[in-house]
Structure 1
Amino acid sequence: MVKAFVTSVDVAQRAGVSRSAVSRTFTEGASVSPEVRRKVLQAAQELGYRVNRLAQGLNNSSSNLVGVVGANLSLPFMAKQLDMLSIGLLRRGLQCLLLNAADARSDIAPLIELIFEFRARAIVVLSGEPPMSIVDECLANGVKLIVINRQLARSDTDIILSDDIAGATLAAERLKAAGCRKVAVVTSGSGTPTQLRRCKAFSDVMTAAGTDIVVWHDGPTTYETGLKAARELLSDRQIDGAFCVTDIMAIGFLDGARNDMGRRVPEDLSVIGFDDIPQASWRSYELTTISQSFEVLTEAVLAALDHELGQSVITNVPVALIERSTVRR
């Protein structure tokens, strides 16, 4: 038989006080006499009582929960982002309510509606784009909506964007400096706004410089997609540079180039990624990449929690070129 949780009624009976006195004791700022507080805390310790924060939140207009909606959570970039965000929320006394949008296809509305049922004080969207009806519902219910790397046609949500255009420009300039004459741009078939921005900005710089470019896009945003791109592209021996719009695809591309296509990196082929995931610095890759600060991104989300509801703040996460060993010097 499963033992039932100790309730506030049990604590009240042990302390010889009312249930409301127990509730006030564990409610920040509530009025309770020192003697009653002492009795309640002693009884709670003896019984092993813990406050039911979920029930407490449901009794209030909002809880200490922050809903986080994301897909592809196993990808290194998403995993690192979620790791740092959940730690940051805990340090603020908030809890992360994670909902995996992997099976939501393009419609994440049902997941966000589920978060409403928990009286979450804010919703952070890591993947996907919330429909405008959900934005309206967030405002109507006093729920802060924070969207990462999505630009909505509204001015009442907090938007956090990596500086994709600046990053892709840095990558293009670096491959130009390496003397690359024909360059491949590797993207997945997901068509996310982030990948599209990076691809276009990079292509614009290369086209303006008169550099031949080949744009390749197919499959999900995975290591295997990068591997496939290398096998399909590098039979063209004239390709001497590649910009992969995410590091995970760049790592797959590197393995395909070296192990399957017999290319020497960086002597025959220069490769740049984007994101600076932890694996990019591994000794087997030493990937030159565009870094966006996970710390700055996390702080931007936490700062957005304090913005007034309906106030829109667009935060750009700065980027930097991280030189390692996959581009000719």
Structure 2
Amino acid sequence: MVASSDHEDHLKRDRATRNFVTAEDVARLAGVSRSAVSRTFTPGASVSADVRHRVQEAAKTLGYRVNRLARSLISDQSNLVGVVGANLSLPFMARQLDELSLALLNRGMQCLLLNAAEAEQGITPLIELILEFRVRAIVVMSGSPPSAIIDECVANSVRVILVNRQADDAEADTIISDDLGGARVAAERLLRAGCRRIGVVGSGARTPTQVRRRLAFVEHIEEAGIKSAVWASGETTYETGIEAAKGLLTSHELDGVFCVTDLLALGFLDGAREMGRRVPEDLSVIGFDDIPQSAWASYRLTTVRQSMSDLTGSVLAAIEREMHGKETKLVHEVLPVELVERATVRPMS
């Protein structure tokens, strides 16, 4: 039975100058020990039905919540996963974070997100900050951490997972989409559509993903005896796609274009249409990522899809693998991609 209302009022007055309810507060109100409160909120721990009921009622009365951060500091298993990312407003990144954070929550883990947009000196300070929270793993979606900071993570039994990026000679898992294969598929599809005056559009960001896609596409086109017109400037935005369309289509009579991201492709499509180009009759366009907007009726963009569910599943699997110090087995995974045919490429000739 929970203590009297007088006792309850005393406890409320006692903590009036404090910021939160403690387990000790719950123990005093329920008339049990501090360890009984801990066992009540620990899955699988042994506690009698009567004690469990009294503790839960006291917790409800006081508004008590378990301090999971404190628990992680005294246990061998944290439920926090650090995530480092930049350009969080971009559709693909936003969707990736949305699915990963939800998947972590469903697995009993929490996402600790650090925005690397202003990390001009690299992401090492961000990772050092994350380590102070005793995280279970660190997922890097932007930037390339130096091997020294990754070694420090491993020494602290913190797994590092690099998504769509690589770090040479580093003790980190790497999970990347098949950018090279996807770019080659896009090149082959334009060639089969009869395109012979071909361009490739990227931004000036020079991220590993963009560079891989652009170089692989240009290489495949050159194997067919065609020199590509290349656009690689500006930010990775819809507006850059429009600018690229106006720049390339003014100086080149292109009949096929590969954009290394869908967001650039959507801007390119609108820019081309503003210039009177018919898609796909005059100009075929292919993107990469298959963001939701690509399927909109106003675009119906043909694109290379990387499975978000496969990516999320691989990250989760990496997080949940056991760490064994220097004996930890690293995973280097390349996720398959596929061409999604819609309406921006001419039929095969």
Return the TM-score normalized by structure 1: 0.95
Q: Helix, strand or coil: the match of 1:145? A: strand
Question: What are the residue-to-residue correspondences of 1:72-83 with 2, within 5 Å?
Answer: 72-83=87-98
Matched residue SS, 1:160: strand
2:194 to 179, 185, 194: 179
Instruction: Report SS of the residue matched to 2:32.
Output: coil
Cα deviation for residue 62 of structure 1 reads 4.1
Alignment partner, residue 287 of structure 1: 301
Instruction: Determine helix, strand or coil for the equivalent of 1:78.
Output: helix
- Which residue pairs with 2:342 in the alignment? 324
What is the distance in 2 between the residues matched to 1:36 and 1:202?
66
Partner of 1:98 in structure 2?
113
SS in 2 for 1:305: helix
Q: How far, CA to CA, are the matches of 2:133 and 2:168 in structure 1?
A: 27
Q: Is the counterpart of residue 264 in structure 1 residue 278 in structure 2?
A: yes
Aligned to 1:152: 167
Q: Which sections of structure 1, spanning at least 5 residues, go unmatched?
A: none
1:263-311 CA-to-partner distances (Å, cap 9, x unmatched) read 1111111100000000000111110000000010000001111223232
Bigger RCO (CA 8 Å, 6+ sep): 1
Name the aligned partner's letter for residue 219 of structure 2: D
Deviations 1:192-234, CA, capped at 9 Å, x for gaps: 1111111111111110101231111001111111111111110
Q: 1:38: which partner in 2?
A: 53
Contact 1:107 / 1:130 at 8 angstroms: preserved in 2?
A: yes
Runs of 4+ in 1 over 4 A off after TM superposition: none
1:111-143 deviation digits (Å, cap 9, x = unpaired)? 111111111101000111111111111111111
Q: How far apart, CA to CA, are the structure 2 residues paired with 1:132 and 1:62?
A: 24
Rounded Cα–Cα distance in structure 2 between residues aligned with 1:2 and 1:170: 65
Letter in 2 for 1:291: R
Residue aligned with 2:305, SS: strand
- The answer to whether the 8 Å contact 1:226/1:252 transfers is yes
Deviation at 1:237, TM superposition (A): 4.9
Matched, 1:235 2:250: yes
Shift of 1:3: 7.9
User: Partners of 1:239 and 1:258 in 2: how far apart?
Assistant: 14
Q: For the residues of structure 2 that align with 1:158 and 1:279, how far apart are their CA atoms?
A: 31
Deviation at 1:7, TM superposition (A): 1.6
Q: Which residue of 1 aligns with 2:211?
A: 196
Partner residue of 2:43? 28
Of 284-293 and 233-242, more deviation after overlay is shown by 233-242
CA contact (8 A) 1:181 1:212 kept: no
2:314 corresponds, among 300, 303, 309, to 300
In the alignment of these two chains, the number of paired residues is: 328
User: Structure 2 counterpart of 1:290, which letter?
Assistant: V
Shift, 1:42, TM fit: 2.5
Q: How does 1:123-162 map to 2 (within 5 A)?
A: 123-154=138-169, 156-162=171-177
Contact 1:61 1:119 in 2 (8 A): no
Deviation at 1:58, TM superposition (A): 2.3
Corresponding residue of 1:315: 333
* Higher mean C-alpha deviation, range 56-65 or range 134-143: 56-65
CA contact (8 A) 2:175 2:315 kept: yes
Question: How far apart, CA to CA, are the structure 2 residues paired with 1:193 and 1:285?
Answer: 27
User: How far off its partner does 1:255 sit?
Assistant: 0.7
Given residue 132 of structure 1, which amino acid in structure 2 is its aligned partner? S
More displaced 10-residue stretch of structure 1: 65-74 or 145-154 = 145-154
Report SS of the residue matched to 1:265. coil
Q: Unaligned regions of 5+ residues in structure 2, if any?
A: 1-15
Percent identical pairs in the alignment equals 62
Cα deviation, 1:2-24, whole Å, max 9, x if unaligned, reads: 98422211111111122222123
Q: Which residue of 1 aligns with 2:73?
A: 58
State the match for 2:237 in structure 1. Answer: 222
Contact (CA 8 Å) 1:81, 1:294: kept in 2 or not? yes
C-alpha distance in 1, partners of 2:233/2:289? 19
> Partners in 1 of 2:18 and 2:145 — Cα distance?
41
- Amino acid of the structure 2 residue aligned with 1:60: S
Q: Within 1, Cα distance between the matches of 2:103 and 2:163?
A: 16
Using the TM superposition, give the Cα deviation of residue 155 of structure 1 relative to its aligned residue in structure 2, in angstroms: 5.7
State the TM-score, normalized to the length of structure 2.
Answer: 0.90
Corresponding letter in the other structure for 2:201: V
What is the CA deviation profile of residues 80-113 of structure 1, one whole-angstrom value per residue up to 9, with x for unaligned ones? 1001101110110000111110011250111111
Q: Is the 8 A contact 1:227 1:256 kept in 2?
A: yes
Query: Which of 109, 116, 132 does residue 124 from structure 2 map onto?
Result: 109
Q: Check the 8 A contact 2:302/2:344 in 1, yes or no.
A: yes
C-alpha change, 1:129 and 1:72, in structure 2 (3 Å) is same
